[in-house]
A = this chain, B = another copy of it.
Amino acid sequence: MIEERNEKDDVQFDEARLREMLEAHDIDAFRDEFLELHPYDQATFYEKVEPDIRKIIYSFLSPTEMADIFEAIEIDDDEYTAYLAEMAPSYGAEMLSHMYADDAADVLNELDTEQRESYLGMMDEETAEEINELLSYDEYTAGSIMTTEYVAIPENSTVRSAMAILRKEAPDAETIYYIFVVDEAHRLTGVISLRDLIIADEDTLIRSIMNERVVMVHAGDDQEEVAQIMKDYNFLATPVIDDKGELLGIITVDDIIDVIDEEASEDYSKLAGISDMDKFDTTSLQAAKKRLPWLVILLFLGMLTANLMGQFEATLEQVALLAVFIPLISGTSGNSGTQALAVAIRGIATGDVEDHSKLKLLLREAGTGLMSGIVCGLIVIGIVYIWKQELILGMLVGAALCGSILVATVAGSFIPLLMHRLKIDPAVASGPFITTLNDITSILIYLGLATVFLSQIG
């Protein structure tokens, strides 16, 4: 019978029953029930139970079975160490060697050098070498997310021999839906999908039906670029080559989904000024620790604003009414700066920015800022006149608002573009940072104008 997905907690298993079986040490019943589950559900259960229960799981499952679970768990990077420490070292090493090489490398990357070497030393040489190779690529590159478990066939194979290779490799390969064709030097020369393979005549030569226009990436390419290509071309996998054109590995669509998700979450966190998005199950203290660094940095920047305003204390003393409009001006220009920033950062992330002239872009933003500034400025003049019957004050506030919006909009796109050009991570140009900068410029414009025209509005 088909079990429908449990709407409430998104899982397909009976947690209490599995727990009972483990506690009663009923190995057969547990294996019957548990191994039927999808690895994601197995992993969800595994993450939910306590270390003591997990130790029983290790004694019930082989390292190979455990490898499937470990590939599917979704935990914070620093938790891997704790999970591995629960296992006997030899069991852990055996499990790691049965994982897909890219996943094993991800786990080992979180351990300290000594531990990593110790696990690698316990594996068979070929596997250890494969994983070591993957560990050598920089984070966020194509090489760091590729896997080496792909199916490659020689150019001069027939469809029949290709299918035979495929059947043999199917249990281990991460995908068998794309088969990569290589020459004697293991240089990538073509690709053929399993779809094309199964409808082709068995005696056909692979060379005659393979697709020679392979879209491929280099091991050092940025993972975001790879994601963009796979999204555009709707690929299930993309081959990764080295400088000599030799096939090193493949990147599969499930890893790309994780990249897209990760990068989106990163852009989002930047805009909100959080270094690292905290999950709902962290404590207040953990959350405060993650958020405070930004808050304190911005607080010091805010003190600059206060210091700047202090310079205008005399002006403010003369016309206290001036202070009333400060939050309005700095808030509105902050908002328009954040809008411009979001558009720029998103454009940089999607690569859209490469197709356009930066100068034209800044001019576009200047135009947008000017139009928005004039509209908002006129509205404010109207409101202040109706509310306070103060035309001069209204014009001062309106002019300052218009100028501040213009500056904020241009700065909101200029700063991230400049950082991108200088190859600095635009994380520094986060939303709150830009907003605080805009506070400073808007106050300077407003109180500067006010001081100059003070005689007329006093």
Contact = CB atoms under 8 A, between A and B. Distances in A.
Nearest to A344: B280
B320 A305 contact: no
Contact of A280 (B269, B342, B353): B353
Contact of A302 (B40, B331, B367): B331
Contacts of A296: 375-376, 379
Contacts of A232: 10, 40, 74
A331 B438 CA distance: 11
Given A198-B166, A199-B167, A343-B278, A336 B375 contact: no
Contacts of A324: 306, 309-310, 313, 316
Contacts of A60: none
Nearest to A227: B257
A6 to B, nearest CB: 11
A231 interface: yes
Contacts of A325: 306
B327 A326 contact: yes
A335 B74 CA distance: 30
A436 interface: yes
Interface string A268-279: 110111100111
Contacts of A423: none
Interface on chain A toward B: helix, strand, loop, or mixed SS?
helix
A228 B313 CA distance: 55
Contacts of A2: 188-190, 212-214, 216, 245
A96 interface: no
Interface in A249-271: 253-254, 256-258, 260-261, 264-265, 267-269, 271
A4 B285 contact: no
Contact of A299 (B214, B260, B380): B380
Nearest to A323: B323
Interface string A440-458: 0001000000000000000
A77 B407 CA distance: 33
Nearest to A13: B213
Interface string A14-25: 000000000000
Contacts of A274: 339, 342-343
A interface residue count range (under 10 / 10 to 19 / 20 to 34 / 35 or more): 35 or more
A9 to B, nearest CB: 7
Interface in A145-201: 163, 166-167, 170-171, 176-177, 188-190, 194-195, 198-199
Contact of A355 (B253, B265, B280): B280
A113 interface: no
Nearest to A167: B199
Given A288-B368, A323-B326, 8 more contacts: A177-B194, A177-B195, A231-B254, A271-B431, A277-B346, A280-B343, A299-B328, A306-B328
Ranked 3 nearest A-B pairs via Cβ: A284-B367, A272-B342, A264-B264
30 contacts: A8-B354, A9-B355, A10-B232, A12-B215, A166-B198, A170-B199, A177-B194, A236-B236, A257-B260, A261-B264, A264-B268, A268-B342, A271-B271, A271-B342, A272-B431, A280-B352, A280-B361, A283-B364, A284-B367, A288-B375, A291-B368, A295-B336, A298-B335, A306-B325, A306-B327, A309-B323, A316-B320, A320-B320, A327-B330, A334-B435
Interface of A: 1-5, 8-10, 12, 36-38, 40, 72, 74, 163, 166-167, 170-171, 176-177, 188-190, 194-195, 198-199, 212-217, 228-234, 236, 245, 253-254, 256-258, 260-261, 264-265, 267-269, 271-274, 277-285, 287-288, 291-292, 294-296, 298-299, 302-303, 305-307, 309-310, 313, 316-317, 320-321, 323-328, 330-332, 334-336, 338-339, 341-343, 346-347, 351-356, 361, 364-368, 370-372, 375-376, 379-380, 383, 387, 405, 431-432, 435-436, 439, 443
